[in-house]
Amino acid sequence: MSRAAANFGRSVVLAGILALAACATPRMHTQDELNSVSLACGLTYGELIQDEEQKKLLILFRQAPSPQHRSCVYQWARRNHLKLVVVDSIKFPEEGN
């Protein structure tokens, strides 16, 4: 194989790797986008957030979400290369002595 052909082959492989890496890195969705998904899945405003530190995490905050809610949000998260995290109960420590 000639040197030119080898260099071309490496360039093609490198371009492919860069294209895949760009697709795998999720973007930050706006709160309006997340609210639209929430409403489309039967949720309310603010029940979906995307973690700014870990952009791959989509967090669903809802007390006992139905299987339909989970499935709808999961499918959207998957299409957008996000990992769904469901927080269905939050317990705060009691104040006092």
Least confident of 12-21, 41-50, 82-91: 12-21
Q: Is the pLDDT of residue 66 over 60?
A: yes
Q: Is the pLDDT of residue 28 over 60?
A: yes
What is the rounded distance in angstroms from the CA atom of residue 38 to the CA atom of residue 2?
56
Query: Could you read off the pLDDT of 37-62 as tens digits, one per residue?
Result: 999 999 999 999 998 889 999 999 99
Q: Which residues contact 42 (CB under 8 A, 6 or more apart)?
A: 66, 68, 69, 72
Q: Which of 91, 28, 23 is nearest to 57 (CA)?
A: 28
Domain spans of the chain, in order of start = 26-87
Q: Is the pLDDT of residue 3 over 80?
A: no
Q: Which residues contact 19 (CB under 8 A, 6 or more apart)?
A: none
